């Protein structure tokens, strides 16, 4: 007699009695949300959004590729992701690659950067893959893309490599042809026939292709809407229609420059938007925090705190805002107007360890002014005055003491911190 549905049964196979039970499928009809990301991907996204301003699409594409890698859904035998970043200079193309490395491996310099301007001739490819046996200087030529170079920043928690081909359009066709196999199969053959595995690598390529067309769309010189577009550009407001035109112009410029087989091997082509005044104001706060972090890292025995007033920030923005040059022009203004005067104050002992310096703007002189507001601050007191993203020297926090200019800490201890 056949067993009833859902009841236990036994059957004999090769002389062995196996007990089992028929399983029923439970129907739940629970709706799923494919837009949600895992915890690690959320941490990466949050970290990138704190460091990168105004480039949400690029952040989202990197997070999506990283999520596929974490879940094992990345295509086998290919790099984790192949990205082409287009856009004007100073929009954050290189910075987002460094921020990704900083978020995942805690080192912004863990990026293997290839300056493609050095490969304008086909014979210079030997610097990447090494000279083949028999050529003069074969043993002295160390390839820039060996397996040891790729794995040098791997750790126990993260085994990823970050390869950046900066300004890819300036390289010769020989480099593009060399990358065809890397982007598709994740393998590179060196001059001595050694294989390099790129299956754990994120490959980024940056280019200024289409920047002229994008600038013409943002700041048109002719037409009825030229004045309105100029005002929107100064305010940093770009509508969806204009954003779509800029994206299409960048992609079309890349398609005209590169071959179809090269474009076909890219996972994502992202067009970076020009940075307006609201984005530059947020970048200013990030750069000021980086200057404060630099003070703590380079001079642990003379660490002090500076506070910039709203007038000082407005002056820095006024001097550092140029839509043609983006955020790099702002960084140069900060170095010239803030960092250099601070270095003079440190060198002349006008600012000592534990001081609090107020940076304001003098409208009559049209220059920044520096006033010492307090001195002899403890480390924890200085920690309360700075942004939470800034890390204080670990050895000073452990001691909980004052930082005095007369005491000299060794550079070795500060690096361990």
Task: Quick: pLDDT tens for 298-324.
Answer: 767 788 999 999 999 999 998 887 766
**Range among 13-27, 118-132, 164-178, 269-283 with highest mean pLDDT value:** 164-178
Q: What is the number of other CB atoms lying within 10 angstroms of the CB of residue 47?
A: 16
Distance CA 81, CA 241 (A): 28
Distance CA 352, CA 342 (A): 11
pLDDT at 297 over 80: yes
Query: Measuring CA to CA, which residue among 362, 282, 371 is closest to residue 321?
Result: 282
* Per-residue model confidence (pLDDT) at position 410: 35
Distance CA 12, CA 9 (A): 10
The mean pLDDT value for 330-343 works out to 93
pLDDT at 99 over 80: yes
Architecture label for domain 39-271: 3-Layer(aba) Sandwich (3.40)
Domain ranges of the chain: 39-271, 277-416
- Chain mean pLDDT for the chain: 82
pLDDT at 12 over 50: no
pLDDT at 398 over 70: no
The mean pLDDT value for 224-248 works out to 60
233 or 217, higher pLDDT: 217
411 or 103, higher pLDDT: 103
The mean pLDDT value for 390-407 works out to 52
Report pLDDT digits (tens) over 105-149: 999 999 999 999 999 998 888 889 887 766 666 666 688 899 999
Token representation of residue 8: 């236990």
* Per-residue model confidence (pLDDT) at position 405: 41
pLDDT at 84 over 50: yes
pLDDT at 411 over 50: no
Distance CA 171, CA 188 (A): 18
* Per-residue model confidence (pLDDT) at position 210: 77
Contact of 336 with 325, CB cutoff 8 Å: no
* Per-residue model confidence (pLDDT) at position 203: 96
Q: In CATH, which of 1.10.3210.10, 1.10.8.60, 3.40.50.12780, 3.40.50.11890 is domain 277-416?
A: 1.10.8.60
Q: What is the number of other CB atoms lying within 10 angstroms of the CB of residue 137?
A: 9
* Per-residue model confidence (pLDDT) at position 384: 84
Q: What is the pTM of this model?
A: 0.79
Taken as a whole, the chain contains a residue count of: 417
304 or 401, higher pLDDT: 304
Over the range 83-101, which residues count as b (16 or more CB within 10 Å of their CB) and which as e? Answer: bbbbbbbbbbbbbbbbbbb
Contact of 146 with 184, CB cutoff 8 Å: no
pLDDT > 70 in the chain, percent:
78
């Amino acid at each position: 007699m056949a067993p009833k549905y859902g009841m236990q049964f036994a059957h004999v196979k090769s002389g062995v009695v196996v007990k089992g039970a028929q399983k029923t499928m439970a129907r739940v009809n629970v709706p799923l949300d494919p837009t949600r990301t895992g915890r690690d991907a959320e941490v990466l996204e949050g970290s990138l959004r704190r460091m990168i301003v105004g480039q949400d699409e690029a952040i989202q594409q990197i997070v999506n590729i990283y999520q596929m890698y974490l879940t094992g859904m990345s295509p086998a035998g290919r790099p984790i992701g192949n990205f082409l970043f287009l856009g004007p200079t100073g929009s954050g193309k290189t910075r987002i690659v460094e921020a990704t490395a900083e978020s995942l491996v805690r080192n912004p310099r863990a990026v293997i950067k290839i300056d493609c301007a050095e490969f304008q001739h086909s014979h210079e490819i030997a610097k990447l893959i090494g000279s083949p046996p028999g050529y003069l200087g074969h043993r002295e030529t160390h390839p820039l893309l060996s397996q040891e170079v790729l794995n040098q920043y791997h750790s126990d928690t993260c085994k990823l490599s970050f390869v950046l081909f900066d300004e890819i359009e300036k390289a010769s066709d020989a480099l593009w042809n060399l990358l065809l196999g890397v982007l598709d199969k994740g393998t590179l053959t060196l001059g001595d026939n050694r294989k390099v595995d790129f299956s754990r690598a994120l490959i980024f390529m940056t280019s200024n292709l289409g920047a002229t067309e994008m600038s013409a769309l943002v700041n048109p010189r002719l037409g009825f809407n030229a004045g309105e577009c100029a005002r929107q550009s100064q305010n940093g407001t770009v509508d969806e229609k204009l954003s779509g035109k800029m994206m299409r112009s960048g992609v079309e410029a890349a398609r005209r420059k590169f071959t179809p087989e090269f474009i076909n091997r890219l996972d994502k082509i992202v067009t970076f938007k020009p940075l307006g005044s609201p984005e530059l104001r947020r970048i200013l706060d990030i750069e000021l925090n980086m200057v404060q972090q630099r003070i703590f890292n380079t001079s642990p025995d003379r660490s002090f705190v500076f506070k910039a007033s709203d007038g000082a920030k407005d002056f820095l923005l006024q001097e550092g805002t140029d839509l043609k040059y983006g955020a790099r022009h702002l960084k140069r203004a900060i170095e010239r107007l803030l960092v250099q005067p601070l270095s003079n104050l440190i060198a002349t002992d006008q600012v000592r360890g534990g001081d609090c310096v107020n940076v304001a703007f003098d409208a009559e002189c049209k220059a920044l002014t520096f006033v010492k507001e307090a001195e002899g601050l403890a480390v924890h007191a200085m920690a309360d005055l700075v942004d939470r993203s800034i890390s204080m020297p670990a050895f000073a926090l452990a001691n909980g003491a004052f930082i005095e200019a007369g005491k000299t800490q060794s550079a070795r201890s500060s690096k361990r911190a």
